[in-house]
Structure 1
């Protein structure tokens, strides 16, 4: 997946969503900001688990809802990249609390993935990847639409 442009894909299962995250991670570098948007249950955390696996981070990836941000160190293998996983839902647009997270500092050495970040964190970088997820009712089928924004 190129570092520019956009696309759309249908993902029939949660495993497909995670696999897409691994594929996406192949083109991510420290300093990249990934903003995930979609309703509850759309697959934001599943996609993040795939991104984390593709980056080679350590530890289990789960939703950081109650702690707002989790840092995942790079694994021991060459090419592994650290990741910061943020849940901006609880920030409620509070930019002071967002600034307290020092995400701009994290962007110097990690990929930062922000769930519920649309309209909240775009100002942190000159370029970011926006991913919108939609889930079909009563199904695991998800549609992902992505676009690099400069």
Structure 2
């Protein structure tokens, strides 16, 4: 089976008891809240990618403050030439917003950006990355790994 690896950088931006999220539109049209972030371009530093992605998806300027951890997920995806064993490495930073204005991404993989109260997050339709990022932000584990992470189901 063919393999694919995607490396991406995401931000946990919390201020005044709220978290900044972007709503991801899946290939099948579902809409799920996620941390702002995305794929790292070839030659780009992860810390630069997270700043770029936050601005693209939310309109805000982010300043990375700390590396919270690295998460890994693994899926089998159908492709035209057969299934692919896909792995995603997600580098998760804590960041603070230093400028810009909240706006929605145009022509990208997300369609909305919003601030949500931390206690409202469990009721949102969201990807597991939101919970993983928040746990890393709260617990700050020495190895940067969340027990919520499971490379085969997340």
Could you state the TM-score of these two structures normalised by the residue count of structure 2? 0.29
Could you state the TM-score of these two structures normalised by the residue count of structure 1? 0.30
Instruction: Determine which structure has more spread, i.e. the larger CA radius of gyration.
Output: 2
| Structure ranking higher in strand proportion | 2
| Structure ranking higher in helix proportion | 1
